[in-house]
Amino acid sequence: MNHTLLKPLLALAALFTSVTSVMAQTAPTTYPTKPVSIVVAYAPGGQGDTFARMVSEKLTNIYKQPVLVDNKPGVSGTVGTRYAVQAKNDGYNLLLGQLGEMVVNRLLMKDLGYDPIKDLVPVVLIGNSPLVMLAPADAPYNTVTEFIQLARSKPGEVSYGSVGAGTPGHLSAVALGLGAKLNMIHVPYKGVGPLMNDLMAGRLQAFFSSAPAAMPQIKGGKLKALAVTTPQRMSSLPQVPTVAESGLPGFSYTLWGGLFAPAGTPANVIESLNREVNAIMSMPDIRTRMEADNMAVPKNSAAEFTEYVRTESLKYEKLVKDANIKIEQ
């Protein structure tokens, strides 16, 4: 080829490559181009379902594509989580993952058939809420310190309730027992209603409850709050101290939920979802709704959420090991 012609052609090719590159960088994302599914591993009505529906409604408006909630309950969240793990990693299949299905199940259940830490990618933390340590309204103790004194004076006699082994309420009580060196009796229930009735009647001495379930009982004077499990006090119960303030520094056990995607989901999709959900959580109507339920709404990157899940995993691994909680066969 004539070298005098080659130089202009090479220059034109270089210019075309440069322009194409700039266009690719500035071109608007095409995600999503079809409906997006958010799997919730529990039946409608729970915290995870609330998070998913709140976010899906707003994302539908933002993306101009349906963002649908798909409830797949069963076996402590493992049915829905397994479904999400096995779904195509194209950004159209997401999971509303919570503490139980993302961290605790793999420590306490045998042969899950998947590892949520390896098989799912954290996208964005949506909300974080405290547990409230409840006691009978007429109990002779009004603080965690007084409760600990009672439990130490009656080893093996003081009982606490939960809605099942491995639930946040159970593990929070286990952490309290380890930290304060207590010998307590765990009484599991199949539902919150019967548990609350026994607690009100004094047949139980304590229960670590979700804030939404606890607040009506506290306001009605049927139960009293000894402490909350977050590092900071609850805005709706400013007079109630944290467990950390009550003699167990560093005590922090919360209920959290966020979006996850199958491993290998494109980075640009994760970035888009993280950006839009953070924007949603900062909307005044959403913040008001979350704060009414005592939910913290932390702005976070996908990397920050990944580190949070890692830290939570290490904390619960240590707790399960130290308490010698056995894996279900």
Do both 47 and 109 map to the same domain? yes
* Average pLDDT over every residue of 111-138: 95
Is residue 33 over pLDDT 50?
Answer: yes
Residue type, 112: L
Do both 222 and 161 map to the same domain? yes
Residue 259 contacts by C-beta under 8 Å, 6 or more apart in sequence?
Answer: 38, 55, 94, 95, 96, 97, 122, 123, 124, 126, 273, 277
Q: Is the pLDDT higher at 223 or at 297?
A: 223
Do both 74 and 156 map to the same domain? no
Q: How many domains does the chain have?
A: 2
Distances (CA, A) of 169 to 225, 264, 265: 14, 34, 33
* Average pLDDT over every residue of 136-156: 97
Is residue 158 over pLDDT 90?
Answer: yes
Are 224 and 135 in contact by the 8 Å Cβ rule? The answer is: yes
pLDDT of 103 reads 96
Q: How far apart are CA 177 and CA 180, in angstroms?
A: 5
Do both 123 and 214 map to the same domain? no
pLDDT of 292 reads 84
Do both 71 and 204 map to the same domain? no
Residue 64: phi, psi to the nearest 5?
60, 30
- The pLDDT > 90 percentage for the chain reads 80
Model confidence band, residue 146 (pLDDT cutoffs 50, 70, 90)? very high
Do both 177 and 111 map to the same domain? no
Instruction: Annotate 216-242 with b (16+ C-beta within 10 A) or e (fewer).
Output: ebbeeeebbbbbbbbeebbeebeebbb
Task: Read off the pLDDT of residues 278-288 as tens digits, 9 standing for 90 and up.
Answer: 999 999 999 99
pLDDT of 293 reads 81
* Average pLDDT over every residue of 222-226: 98
Do both 223 and 261 map to the same domain? no
The residue from 246, 279, 295 where one domain ends is 246
Do both 191 and 268 map to the same domain? no
Is residue 7 over pLDDT 90?
Answer: no
Model confidence band, residue 12 (pLDDT cutoffs 50, 70, 90)? very low
The CB-side HSE value for 226 (13 A sphere, CA atoms) comes to 27
Is residue 18 over pLDDT 50?
Answer: no
In a domain, 281, yes or no: yes
* Average pLDDT over every residue of 157-171: 95
Is residue 25 over pLDDT 50?
Answer: no
pLDDT of 30 reads 87
Q: Is the pLDDT higher at 158 or at 76?
A: 158
Model confidence band, residue 327 (pLDDT cutoffs 50, 70, 90)? low
CATH of the domain at 159: 3.40.190.10
pLDDT of 291 reads 87
In a domain, 3, yes or no: no
In a domain, 236, yes or no: yes
Host domain of residue 231: 130-246
In a domain, 196, yes or no: yes
pLDDT of 100 reads 94
Task: Give the pTM.
Answer: 0.86
Task: Read off the pLDDT of residues 108-121 as tens digits, 9 standing for 90 and up.
Answer: 998 898 999 999 99
Model confidence band, residue 297 (pLDDT cutoffs 50, 70, 90)? confident
The residue from 206, 229, 246 where one domain ends is 246
Is residue 23 over pLDDT 50?
Answer: no
Per-chain mean pLDDT for the chain: 90
Is residue 83 over pLDDT 70?
Answer: yes
Model confidence band, residue 243 (pLDDT cutoffs 50, 70, 90)? very high
